[in-house]
Amino acid sequence: MPSPDPLFSIYWYDPTGQQIREKYLQPFDQCKEAFDRLTQGPAAQMGLVKSIKLTDHFDCLVIELTRERDSWVRTL
């Protein structure tokens, strides 16, 4: 029996530190679309997205990016 595809969640933080859950336990391809939008889309360009976290289905952190000046820095 093949194992199911792993599921991921994406959270992002606004300038006030408020956490927003963008995707919850979704396949990677759906999370990738949201990840690309959060790092390159209008909200990111206007400075509304300060940090992004991708977690796996065990809620373990996979990657964390933080906005510093005009670029994204991998903080984990």
17 within some domain: yes
Domain assignment of residue 1, yes or no: no
Domain annotation covers residue 64: yes
Domain coverage including residue 25: 7-74
- Look up the pTM and report it: 0.86
Higher pLDDT, 2 or 31: 31
What pLDDT score was predicted for residue 40?
94
Is position 2 within any domain? no
Give the tens place of pLDDT for each residue, 8-54: 999 999 999 999 999 999 999 999 999 999 999 999 999 999 999 99
Say how many domains are in the chain. 1
What DSSP line would sit under the chain, residue for residue?
-PPPPPEEEEEEE-TT--EEEEEEEEEHHHHHHHHHHHHHSHHHHTT---EEEEEETT--EEEEEEEETTEEEE--
> Does the pLDDT at position 71 exceed 60?
yes
pLDDT of residue 4: 77
